[in-house]
Chain A
Amino acid sequence: MPALAPVAGGTKVPSGAGVQRRARTAYLLLIPGIAWLGLFFVVPLVSLFFTSLQAPTGTPGVYQPGFEVANYVTAISDYWPQFIRSFIYSGIATVLALVIAYPLAYFIAFRAGKWRALLLVLVVAPFFASFLLRTYAWRTILADEGFITTTLNALHLLPDNRILNTPIAVIAGLTYNFLPFMILPLYAALERIDPRLIEAAGDLYSSPFTGFRKVVWPLSLPGVVAGTLLTFIPASGDYINATLLGSPQDRMVGNAIQTNFLQFRDYPVASALSFIMMAIILTLVFVYIRRAGTEDLV
């Protein structure tokens, strides 16, 4: 189950027998991959930081080394609505994904029996279909004259009388696209729970709901933490859903970074935006992991 592993963590085998202690071999195994990550992940981040401080030369698209803190001021003052939108949209999408994913993860973990492996394949199967096309397909599903929009409209539930090209469509797309990232870690956490604990709760006269609240939910928290992070992080940086499903008023930070880099060629401001995004995400991740008390995510 490939996509499971990033979040499953795996059980720790007591070290000893299998563990050899020759550090030199270890370094030989590590160096190529670590060097790659160093050169193409760490160095680019440093480069991003320096670019974010570059100053204009007068020629459009060409910049010189500098210490232009003003780039950050521009990035925040021009694009704060995009930042706020990004975190609101992805926050709502994460909560929705949790609510939708939990029953399915619970079902696969406790009730699926011999169908478990097949169901897990089906959960990751959407990854084999193009992300862009799956997102684009929501234009068909949520179309103005489509079944969903007309039904909700008849019930007077839509403020704009439509879904497409509104924030609702963007949030719906984000929720859908990152759902497997929520299901898998939830499943991995639930699967480790001994079903006898739930029986024991029942034997001690707790209602199914209390049993869930006091036994299953607390034990599944590591999965909830991993799942919310794996959903929230990619969702907040995404600009595919906002572009394909939203209106120009629903753009997110990703859009701002992309247009500044690739269309306006304003590399310093684009880099500043990207750097701020990275800083916010990392701060959120570390605060969240601290508070939830699950550090063993990898």
Chain B
Amino acid sequence: MDNLLLMLVPLFSSKLLLVLFFGTLFGLILGVLPGLGPTTGGALILPFTMTLDPLSAIVLLTSIYCAGTYGGAITAVLINTPGTPAAAATCLDGYPLAQKGEAGRALGMATVSSTVGGIFSVIILVFFAPILAQLAYEFGQPEYFALAIFGLTMLASIGEGSPIKNLIAGAFGILISTVGKDFMTSIDRFTFGINELTEGIGFIPVVVGLFAMSEMLTQSTLINQVFNRIALKAIKLPSKDDYKKTWKTILRSSGIGSFIGVLPAEGGTVASLIGYSEAKRFSKNPEEFGKGSIEGIAGAEAANNAATGGAMVPTLALGIPGSATTAVILTGLIIHGVRPGPDLFREQPDFLYGIFGAMLIANILFFVFGFFGAKIFARITLVPNKILWPMIFAVSVCGTYSLNQSIIDVWIMLFFGVLGFFMRRYGFSVVPVIIGLILGELVEGTLRQSLVIFDGNWLMFFTRPIALTFFILSLIALAFPLIRSRKFKKKQ
């Protein structure tokens, strides 16, 4: 109970309220702009958080995460382009409904279902994260190794792309984490005589490169693209009839989104696709889906926002990112000297529950901003790319340089920008690289320490029940995409 009261801390701190206000606002703007989004935005803002205390910094990042996820819906409904990948499923029904002259109704439903999904997931986070953290006390090095492997195998089923390509990208991410001095022996690896590489490759240059710079290159191929933007008069709250039609869908999708979010490496994109398809499966009018179904919007939006709280569960309780954006938040925690895991729950409950409270408030704030300001946010999409992207470049370069004051970091960022562009072009998702990079140190560290404990006997991993469970789950995670594609082929 005392801990729950700590959730009110942000409400009584003018500084935190201000951070929340700007974080939500900034998150919405990032979400609205196609190609940006909470992951890139979080990475860009990370250097700025160095001037803040740890709680304010993480509150800023989490509010960007919550609001950015919702912001993608505005662009999805009005210009049929998801502002964030998680809003892709919202386009399917949001845009057709807007074309029928009901953009306000579509956005109203997106706003309400996002808020309900987000709040639902924070409740899950508050109750589930401490339980998971409690369980993590039983974990030793072998269990953490098995857990990290489970997190990596989950990469196979993220998004619509090829599972093997995702795994290659994940392995590449881990490989990047091996650059620099080996932490156990101080032997240089892949440094090629470059002094700056002995410290390893930083997270920020890779994230900003893979997300922001590769997107800049993608935008360079689309400069002649014209968006058909639908005018928005005013956002409308859903009618009684709409609520009657969708409340079950919203609750179901909130549950689905929270569950998917908890799974390591999965995130809002997978959650919204499953939320949408389940909404269609349970609907009395499945034929309306794809033609402007209000249930379709509710299903997708409740799920993707519910994934935000869900994804924070493994991030905070175990130090395993639940999504790409939580990987950025995890980096924020580490940069500020906060080590996520079970000890965090015991030693700094005020910090943790402050974050939970802030996420709750952020969900309410983006409802208010979305409801009253959707029209203004929609206008942001009018900023031409030829103005916007050079500006993003300037911020990206300075932000990347600022962390270590290293020009090499900027070059690494540009290299990963070009690499990320070609990865996306040939169907390799960039998200697994980020997750691999984050988990790389954990995977290698726990593997090597476990082998020291086991005296080099690999089979000992399978004698530990928790580790064995994670290995079995890993096998299931690897087999799942195969089973899914077979089922899909059979259906066809």
Q: Do A and B come from the same complex?
A: no
